[in-house]
Amino acid sequence: MSNAPSRRTLMTGAAAATLLVPGLAGAAAKTSAREAEMAAIRKAAEAGYDASVKRIQDWIALPSIAAENRDMDKGADYMAALASDAGFTNVEKIPTDGAPGVFGVLDVGARRWLAIYFMYDVKQYDPAEWSSPPLEARIVDKPGFGKVIVGRGAVNQKGPQASLLAALHAIRAAGRKPPVNLVLVCEGEEEIGSPHFRQIVTRPNVLAALKKCEGVIIPAGWQSPSNGGVSVNLGAKGVVEFELVASGEKWGRGPKTDIHSSEKARVDSPAWRLVQALTTLVTPDGNTPAVDGYFEKVRPLTAREKELISLAAQRMTEADAKKALGVDRWIDDLPWEKALERLASQPTINIEGLVSGYTGPGGKTVLPGRAVAKIDLRLVPNMTMDDAVAKIRAHLDKRGFNDVEIKVSGGYDPTETPEDSRLIRAQLASYKRLGAPATLYPRLAGSWPGTVFTSPPVSLPAGQFGLGHGSGAHAPNEYYVIESSNPKVQGLVGGTMSYVDLMYEIAEAN
């Protein structure tokens, strides 16, 4: 007969040890209670799946497009109704000098507070470019992903935002309360550079509520299809959107309206004027800003940021990145790690679009009287929006392009969040528990108005969070996964539960 202890004896001994070690019994009980609550909430989320899907579809059916001033009041009203339905109280529509915002609070008497950033606006779309009507939010089977909702705003941001709302519905349906109090701040101008968002955040009642919070999250659905991985970003680049306009009227040369192209033999061209101005802004290959003094405030990558990028290069797949972007080579044929360093550290001057004269079918022999370039800048620490625009203005003036107008439509500064903040630590802990490989990364190469939260007077950590997957933001056939056929990627219910888990983690974190 063996002298080895039985499994029952081992378990009894472990239980006794737990009772004898201070704090272990309480921790075990807390973990058990949390697991029971999560199981009940997940069951409610599964039961509410159809309602959650319909919530996304109905939201997609109402597009609020700030760039077209389309349905902005309707969008704010709809957002307010969604917030109230999810349990937020004292929900109010906040006027600004542009589109209105929405604010609400869900105070359950918890010890800690978490803020949530939403946007209700979406990008423009051309239905002719889509495989299904962009507002119908059809459910289709997407090979390699499962069932997805296709529609404008599906992943940017209505799908992930609706998943967070579904978490609140599931918590209530399970007879529970959120483990943290919540503050919701929403705008309708994110897609045009958030020109009036600060007016919302600095209203006394909104600012007072935000000051109670541990941090701010923006819902996300960016899991990698290859390994289910996610990035925890310690910031984001800033952005500025503007138009450069050359016209015969402002220049005093060339036509004031379109004229016959035969006149080019004796009349100046505003279109060529604009092209010449544009070529001064960047190096000949178009890859590096050449504006006078543009790099003087750029902060180089720190040793820690380089270390994080090196680790990210080992965990992230270059082939997946190129496939997702539809590119074969990086600038200067850079190796993977150097390409990631450039992505995080390089400020950019990008041409979004060029418009002049006739662009329809066939030819139309005109000499245009006006030419427009739509430009966006991406800014890194310690650059600012105002300084970048001022430098471009001075650069053009110095070269005799005083007549070329700069019409800024929106933008904001870069954002940074401390690695040791409770928000970042909670995100990493949640992802680890949920089995999602997480890569800590210096900054998102894209932009969101997080600087409104991370800078004074709010001064909170802020960043993206969430499981799930979608793609096609700003592009045709945008989608969000609701039933995943990929075991590495969560569907709607899994994404919903990730927000529940984060709330519990923030509530319990040291």
- Does residue 461 share a domain with residue 401? no
Q: Which of 412, 429, 464 is the last residue of a domain?
A: 412
- Does residue 499 share a domain with residue 382? no
Mean pLDDT within 148-176: 98
- Does residue 202 share a domain with residue 105? yes
Domain membership flag for residue 484: yes
Q: Please report, for the domain that includes residue 381, its CATH number.
A: 3.30.70.360
Q: Please report, for the domain that includes residue 502, its CATH number.
A: 3.40.630.10
- Does residue 183 share a domain with residue 60? yes
Q: Which of 362, 387, 412 is the last residue of a domain?
A: 412
- Does residue 200 share a domain with residue 153? yes
Assign 7 a pLDDT band (cuts: 50, 70, 90).
Answer: very low
Residue where the block lists tokens 């190129």:
322
Domain membership flag for residue 22: no
Burial of 46 (0-12, 13-18, 19+ CB in 10 A): middle
Mean pLDDT within 214-233: 94
- Does residue 171 share a domain with residue 84? yes
Domain membership flag for residue 361: yes
DSSP category for residue 149: E
Number of domains comprising the chain: 3
Domain membership flag for residue 10: no
Task: Please tell me the predicted confidence (pLDDT) of residue 5.
Answer: 38
Task: Please tell me the predicted confidence (pLDDT) of residue 26.
Answer: 60
pLDDT, tens only, 108-119: 999 999 999 999
**Percentage of residues in the chain with pLDDT exceeding 70?**
94
Q: Which domain holds residue 319?
A: 299-337
Q: Which of 314, 337, 360 is the last residue of a domain?
A: 337
Contact 291, 279 (CB under 8 A): no
Domain membership flag for residue 2: no
- Does residue 218 share a domain with residue 101? yes
- Does residue 388 share a domain with residue 314? no
Q: Return the bridge partners of 344, or none.
A: none
- Does residue 139 share a domain with residue 59? yes
Domain membership flag for residue 19: no
Mean pLDDT within 206-218: 98
Contact 92, 185 (CB under 8 A): no
Prediction pTM value: 0.89
pLDDT, tens only, 328-349: 999 999 999 999 999 999 999 9
- Does residue 172 share a domain with residue 134? yes
Task: Please tell me the predicted confidence (pLDDT) of residue 38.
Answer: 94
Contact 507, 215 (CB under 8 A): no
Neighbours of 207 (CB within 10 A): 13
Burial of 19 (0-12, 13-18, 19+ CB in 10 A): exposed
What is d(CA 444, CA 450) in angstroms, rounded to the nearest whole number? 11
Task: Please tell me the predicted confidence (pLDDT) of residue 462.
Answer: 97
Domain membership flag for residue 37: no
Average pLDDT, the chain: 93
- Does residue 294 share a domain with residue 264? yes
- Does residue 97 share a domain with residue 208? yes
Domain membership flag for residue 35: no
Q: Report whether pLDDT(280) > 70.
A: yes
Contact 110, 200 (CB under 8 A): no
